Structure 1
Amino acid sequence: MWNFKTPGIPDSEFERTEEVPITKEEVRAIQISKARLCPGFTVYDIGCGSGSITVEAAIQIESSGKIVGIDFDPNAIELTKKNLEKFGIKNATTILGNAKEKIQELDKADAIFIGGTGGDTKDILELAKDKLKPGGRIVIGVILIETLFSVIQVIEKLGFSSIDITQITISKSRKTSTGTMMLARNPVTVISATKN
């Protein structure tokens, strides 16, 4: 279905619904790059939503790796499964449930993505640190200033290194009857760090 290794599958290629969020393609490409994925990695996508990060990460870690998408919304899990099937992804599984409970049942990971967590980002981040292997990467996408503030505090408190904060503001073109205009999307801040 997708014959390229580079991240940034167009959003239009994914199965989508209005009720389930998607990490937009440009933001997703940056988040994937911040995770520094390699073939054979174990990866978690917490708050997987439509599964766009799950799909893209699965491609990066190849068949020797494995990824688990976790979400508390049954609609999100169903949509993630549809997208995994659509893109022919075989190295991914999904878990329906509260990430604060489910993450404790998982093995150690090389990288963890956190997004769409329903306000529990700070708590999930604290649990995720224990699930990361030494040198593992954590990548958190946030849209709320309050969440950004709390995540930065927790990351510093937990002793992560190589902390990077990148705010992404994107405008996409749209054809109108008189020409092409640029429409701004909501800014997303991506925090990434390494476990010592």
Structure 2
Amino acid sequence: MWQHKTPGIPDELFERVDDVPITKEEVRVIQISKARLSSGQTVYDVGCGSGSISIEAAHQVGSTGKVFSIDIDPNAVELTKKNLEKFQISNVSVILGNAMQKISELPIADAIFIGGTGGETAEIIKLCESKLKQGGRIVIGTILVETLYSVLNIIEKLSFSSVDIIQITISKSRKTSTGTMFLARNPVTIISATKI
């Protein structure tokens, strides 16, 4: 369905439901770029929601790579599975359960994306750091100021270098009866780092 190697699958191509979040297209492109993915790598998508990051990462790591998508919400897991089927992706394993329990069962990762964590962000980052290869990348998307504060505190205490923090504010165009206007989306802060 998506024939391009570049990330940026339009949001409207994904199956969506109201109560399951999606990482928006432009934010997703930046997160994927910050992970610096290559063919054959192993990736986690913690708090996978609709599966948009998982699908983009699966394209980047190719058929020799593997993505593990984790979410505690059964609706998110079902939606991720629907999107994987829609995009004909076969190198993603979808896992229903608490990330704190499920991550410890996974193989060592080359890159880890962390999205929705249900307030356990610091603990999940600690666990992920122990499962990340040396030189591996972690990419964390946050909306809440409190989550950002928690992430920065724990990243500083762990074995990460090259910490990069960016905030993205995007406005998307929308046609009106008299022309085109821009609608602002919520700012997203992305923290990325490399394990020493």
Q: Which amino acid aligns with 2:64?
A: S
Q: Which amino acid aligns with 1:50?
A: S
Cα offset, 1:48, TM superposition: 0.1
Unaligned runs of 5+ in 1: none
Identify the residue that residue 138 of structure 1 maps to in structure 2: 138
Identify the residue that residue 98 of structure 2 maps to in structure 1: 98
Give the distance between the partners of 2:78 and 2:114, measured in 1 at CA: 19
Unaligned runs of 5+ in 2: none
Give the distance between the partners of 1:116 and 1:6, measured in 2 at CA: 24
1:7 aligns with 2:4: no
Give the distance between the partners of 1:31 and 1:175, measured in 2 at CA: 28
Cα offset, 1:93, TM superposition: 0.8
Give the distance between the partners of 1:101 and 1:92, measured in 2 at CA: 19
Q: Deviations over 1:34-60 (max 9, x none)?
A: 000000000000000000000000000
Give the distance between the partners of 1:138 and 1:11, measured in 2 at CA: 23
Q: Secondary structure of 2:59's partner?
A: helix
Q: Secondary structure of 1:137's partner?
A: strand
Q: Secondary structure of 2:75's partner?
A: helix
Seq. identity, %? 72
Q: Which amino acid aligns with 1:78?
A: E
Give the distance between the partners of 2:117 and 2:22, measured in 1 at CA: 13
Q: Secondary structure of 2:147's partner?
A: helix
Identify the residue that residue 38 of structure 1 maps to in structure 2: 38
RMSD of Structure 2 on Structure 1 (CA)? 0.5
Identify the residue that residue 47 of structure 1 maps to in structure 2: 47
Give the distance between the partners of 2:124 and 2:63, measured in 1 at CA: 27
Identify the residue that residue 181 of structure 1 maps to in structure 2: 181
Q: Which amino acid aligns with 1:193?
A: A
TM-score by length of 1: 0.99
Q: How many residues align?
A: 196
Identify the residue that residue 108 of structure 1 maps to in structure 2: 108
Identify the residue that residue 57 of structure 2 maps to in structure 1: 57
Moved beyond 4 Å, runs of 4+: none
Cα offset, 1:159, TM superposition: 2.5
Give the distance between the partners of 2:91 and 2:174, measured in 1 at CA: 35
Cα offset, 1:118, TM superposition: 1.0
